[in-house]
A = this chain, B = another copy of it.
Amino acid sequence: MSKASIPQGTRDFSAGVVRKRNYIINTIKNVFELYGFEPLETPAMENLDTLMGKYGEEGDKLIFKILNNGLSDPRNTDKARAAFENVLQGKNDKQLTERALKYDLTIPFARYVAMNHGQLTFPFKRYQVQPVWRADRPQRGRYREFYQCDADVVGSTSLMNEVELVHIYATVFQQLHIDADIKINSRKILSALAELCGGNEKLTDITIAIDKLDKIGIEKVQEELLQRGLDEQQVGIIRQYLHVEGSNTEKINAIKELLGTTQAGVKGIEELEYILHYPSSAHIKPPVIDFTLARGLNYYTGSIFEVKARNVQMGSIGGGGRYDDLTGLFGVPNIPGVGISFGIDRIYDVMEELALFPQEVHSGTQVLFFNLGEAESKKAFSLMQQLRDKGISCELYHEQSKFDKQFKYAERKHIAYAVMIGSRELESNTCIIKKLGTGEQSAVALSDLAGYSF
């Protein structure tokens, strides 16, 4: 007999949590759909080949590999042993493992597009909300199984896509009542900065250092840049860059002065201006330029986004950007794209902390019919059908037992109404409806029950 336990870093989602998570996920999906994005679901497993080498050395180590079946078949023993020696040396061997759990949604999406590009209609706009797995050390807010929620448009270089993705962010967070800043920058502007500070080979160093600004502050960023081989004058330019402030227009003007001499700078500024000046509805909150935004991932080549919630201590709740090449790794070149993602777990935490979940999200069963005898409960049973036909969820307590016990059940399940039909009510064709929050109760004719506004 085994003691019941759940793997470290994984979670059961019980009803209350599922309902709240679905409230978030459905809000996002509905907005994706309104913008013409289509759902895609890929399997949990991918071939190991598809995943390995795509996430850097550290990422590779965090991929959950699946053991091949049939290893204990004696005919395979020698091969399996040899394969295992390879694995011990950090190599992969298909004799032992050839499948793995997906690590993110981007590579499986790329694999899907590469496999089906002949049949797809481009621009291809897809969204995907699925779990991914990482063998990270579990800690508060970091899980080994967690959901990602991505939308991408591929096969188009139009900046209108960026404008729409910003709209999607604004609309979703507005609908969730989260006061959020959508930050925007461009990798081209970071390239321009690198061009002025030691050339393109410094781009990664500069990006990595800037990415830490929030955590370590400007002094430490400067130190790090010096350590990474930039000279005082170059660090001075970066200091100036990081100090650009004011409204979007003021920032654009300042950055034009700083980087407007470089080709990448001109292009990056032009693109940002296009996105920012695109005519928008009054109720769409405009994005905010943040030149200190870098986004760690290296495949971004154009605009980059990040979303932060106000009034709460929390990392970014969304991020994304433009990339030049989705599927080159799978032998299909020339598919550029732009995408955003929503951090479901963090959005959940923000909404929990700021008490933003609407009351109706919590409700399961709306009406409990008390079980007060055989004939009484049979009557109740047929009445419940009428309510269910009207979309009202209801239950009959499963056995005849004390009022107390039935009330307790209703209370623990947060059921709003009790309907009681005892022998007297059965005779008079009535029932008693009790609002459990207030204790208020009234007698209602059975023929009026289906019309009662619960």
User: Footprint of B on A, CB under 8 Å?
Assistant: 1-7, 10-15, 18-19, 22, 33-36, 38-47, 49-50, 61-62, 64-67, 69-72, 77, 80-81, 84, 87-90, 96-97, 99, 101, 110-112, 114-116, 121, 123, 125-126, 131, 133, 135, 144-145, 153, 156, 158, 160-161, 163, 167, 171, 278-281, 284, 327, 329-332, 364-365, 377-378, 381-382, 385, 388, 391-396, 398-399, 409, 412-413
Chain B, residue nearest A171 (CB): B388
Known contacts A67-B97, A378-B279, A394-B36; A11/B72 CB under 8 A: no
Ranked nearest first, the 5 interchain pairs of A and B with the lowest CB-CB distance are A36-B395, A15-B38, A10-B43, A4-B114, A72-B90
The answer, among B40, B71, B385, for a CB contact under 8 Å with A12, is B40
A279 to B377, CA, bound (A): 10
Chain B, residue nearest A368 (CB): B36
Are A66 and B67 within 8 A (Cβ)? yes
Q: Can you tell how many copies of this chain the complex includes?
A: 2
Are B121 and A399 within 8 A (Cβ)? no
CB distance from A151 to the nearest CB of B (A): 13
Are B87 and A72 within 8 A (Cβ)? yes
Q: In the complex, which residues of chain B have a beta carbon less than 8 angstroms from the beta carbon of A77?
A: 88
CB distance from A448 to the nearest CB of B (A): 18
A37 to B170, CA, bound (A): 35
A3 to B327, CA, bound (A): 10
Q: In the complex, which residues of chain B have a beta carbon less than 8 angstroms from the beta carbon of A399?
A: 156, 158
Q: In the complex, which residues of chain B have a beta carbon less than 8 angstroms from the beta carbon of A135?
A: 69
Q: In the complex, which residues of chain B have a beta carbon less than 8 angstroms from the beta carbon of A12?
A: 40-43, 112, 115-116
Residue from A6, A46, A126 with most neighbouring chain B CB atoms (10 Å): A6
Are B66 and A34 within 8 A (Cβ)? no
Are A2 and B329 within 8 A (Cβ)? yes
Chain B, residue nearest A64 (CB): B66
Are A15 and B39 within 8 A (Cβ)? yes
A47 to B279, CA, bound (A): 54
Q: Can you sample 22 A-B contacts with CB below 8 Å?
A: A1-B329, A1-B331, A2-B329, A6-B115, A7-B46, A7-B47, A12-B43, A12-B115, A13-B42, A14-B38, A15-B40, A34-B391, A35-B394, A36-B393, A38-B364, A44-B44, A45-B133, A66-B66, A77-B88, A81-B88, A280-B382, A281-B382
